[in-house]
Structure 1
Amino acid sequence: MALLPVFPPTGPRPMLAMAAGFCVERGADPVACAEPILGGVHQDLLDALEFARRWTAPGAAEDELPEPDKKIIDDALPARLGADTYEATRLALAWCSVEEWLPPALAVLCRSTEVRRRHASGILPACSALAALERHDLKCLAYALAVLDDEPLIVLHRPTGTGFEVRIGGIGDNFQLHTLLAHVLVGGGHVPGTTPSAESVRLATDPEPAQGRTQTVATGAFELLAPDGERIWNEGLPDGIPVVEGHRVLVLDEPTYQRSWNADRFFPHLPGTAELTRVLTADETRTWFARTSPADGTRRPA
């Protein structure tokens, strides 16, 4: 691991990171390995963004970003990027190899809450900015960086007019969140509905990942809505649930149609948690509902 920070940026640093990530997968401490791996990821994301800025700058020879292919590294590159040969090569290599950092990055991010707390928020903006350029597949990295840990969530169940505070962590997407909310609220007898199967809950929460893809199906119990009445898709992330008055607020309604999905979690090595911390009082629930819009989109009176 000590080699990574001092290894030349124009050398095959992702290969060293890959070896370190393999060690983490075999039991090495993810916290100890995270700094050089995620430091390299962050720097390459920033360098790839700088490459894109220079490649498409006003007056540049190209206005369309290239595919991440090392064939772009040629004798004309320094002049095209307005840099010397070393810097131009460094930026181009970052553009071409940033996806090679993903396996080691996921190895440390998915195995340690502490790693995510220390590093994720600092890296996510650069990851999102590069992903928006649509030349790299950074979905898994973006999802891992956006995972919430020890996060309180206000959950309002519209059909019964009840409210709950649920603490979530390690959840990779809203499919997994949906299953766990149904487990906690329906399975706990707090709201009506169909309790998710024990196997779908196990797949969402078990520290031991499933061995390969299973055929277990989870069925939707709710319609997930933002406080303004907009639908929150299962394909989205808990990180996308809006914040109202300092709290993430999720509204549950009757499902408009039956949904089902494969119950395997997005990150096999990252178990999710959802814990009901308390049932809100009637006054608290009314106050939170007053900050939401009904399903028809009209605003509730304050």
Structure 2
Amino acid sequence: MIFGRKKFLDAVGDFERAVRAQSPKRAQRALAPLHRTSGNAGDGEYLEAGPRLAVLLPDLPPGPRSTVAVVVGACVERGADAPACAPVIFAGAREAFAAAADFSARWADTGGGELPDPDGAFSDEIVERVGSGPAVGWFTLPQWEMAAVAVLNDPAVRRTAEGKAELLALVERVAEASGHEFKCLDYALRVLDDEPLVVLHRESGTGYALRMSGIGDNFQLHTLLADVLAGGRHVPGEAPSARETAVCRDAAGQVPTTGAFNLVGADGGWIFNEGTPADIAVVDGVRLLVLDPPPYRRSWPAGRFFPGMHGDLVLERVLSAQEAADWFAKLAPAKGPTGS
């Protein structure tokens, strides 16, 4: 293991020297050992290597930049300083998605047809059709998605990093134009932290003030709601087991669970488990969610959409009867799953 750690930092040093010497050939030769040895380091080596590699990203060509960004992301997952690495990761991701938007437009302007898979092969024919820059942007999107999600696992990055809204807008633009989904990055950019949530239980007429953080999708939210409210005996319903709850907070793995509620928005429309907590509309400055009885039995693997992201849902207080009534007065009648 000592040899492996030394080998990785040696590769980092070789790559640093090549980049700073502005020698593309040396840097290209040093890239393969860097990537190959990045899986054989100890946590302390990842902590050191992440920021050292991150500062080099702006000086790299777009292709190698995305490869090194993935290594930086892996370092962050093993303890490297995520807030220090995030700005250059986001800058590179924004540049790649902007180029990919240009790729989609040029593809449409040169005959259209199905776009190539961004995980597929990069070819001279594609470059001739749309240009090198847009093509490189398109084919490096999977790498930038991995790197950006890695740093977004860190709550400090989610709370303080600049450029998240711009990156999300670019992700949405490329997805709409291309038909390709970048779900992991899209969902990661939508994660809410320290977010107030008012939950109303329609059958009992009760209401609850909660706060959520680090919840990747509504499957996870649903399970945690059942734990806090049904498990806390505030509302009727099937409470999840301790294990089902744990894997939705910080434990590893997935466990089968069954839904306790139907999640409904203030407009009466369903809030689907497949979406994210950001889908819950804000009413008078607070996200407002209604719990109705489940229309049918629904089961799924309880767990976290982002295994590296810890989730939390806290009950801050039970609303008074008058507070709950005031919130209920803001609701539209419940609708079906299609909104009718």
Consecutive unaligned residues in structure 1, runs of 5 or more: 82-87, 298-302
Q: Is the 8 A contact 1:99 1:136 kept in 2?
A: no
Whether the aligned pair in 2 keeps the contact of 1:30 and 1:115 (CA below 8 Å) is yes
Tell me, in whole angstroms, the C-alpha distance in 2 between the residues paired with 1:145 and 1:95: 19
Q: Which has the higher contact order (CA 8 A, sep 6+)?
A: 1
Deviation beyond 6 Å, 4+ runs, structure 1: none
Q: What is the aligned partner in structure 2 of residue 226 from structure 1? A: 265
Q: Which whole-Å deviations, capped at 9, do the CAs of 1:181-203 have from their partners, x for residues lacking one?
A: 11111122211122210001110
User: Retained in 2: the 8 A contact 1:70–1:93?
Assistant: no
Residue 104 of structure 2 contacts residue 178 of structure 2 at CA under 8 Å; is this kept in 1? no
Corresponding residue of 1:149? 193
Distance in 1 of aligned mates of 2:65 and 2:286: 40
2:305 partner letter: F
Structural RMSD (CA): 1.9
Counterparts of 1:71 and 1:138 in 2: how far apart (Å)?
Answer: 19
Give the secondary-structure state (helix, strand or coil) at the position aligned to 1:163.
strand
Aligned pair 1:199/2:229, yes or no?
A: no
Report whether the alignment pairs 1:116 with 2:153: no
Decide which of 133, 156, 177 is 1:90's aligned counterpart. 133
Q: 1:278 to 1:54 in 2, by over 3 A?
A: same
- Residue identity opposite 1:7 in structure 2: L
* Number of residue pairs aligned between Structure 1 and Structure 2: 279
Shift of 1:74: 4.0
CA distance 1:75–1:241, change in 2 (3 Å): closer
Is residue 326 of structure 2 the alignment partner of residue 283 of structure 1?
A: no
Listed as ranges, the gaps of 5+ residues in structure 2 are: 1-53
- TM-score, normalization by structure 1: 0.86
TM-score of the pair, normalised by structure 2 = 0.77
Percentage of identical aligned residues = 47
Q: 1:128 aligns with which of 163, 172, 175?
A: 172
1:104 deviation in Å?
1.7
Which has the larger helix fraction?
2
Question: Contact (CA 8 Å) 1:151, 1:168: kept in 2 or not?
Answer: yes
Q: 1:61 aligns with which of 93, 104, 110?
A: 110
Q: What's the CA shift string for 1:152-211, capped at 9, x where partnerless?
A: 0111100000111110010010011011111111122211122210001110112xx41x
Q: Comparing 186-195 with 231-240, which one deviates more in the overlay?
A: 186-195
* Deviation of the 1:75 alpha carbon: 8.8
The equivalent position to 1:293 in structure 2, one of 319, 324, 332, is 332
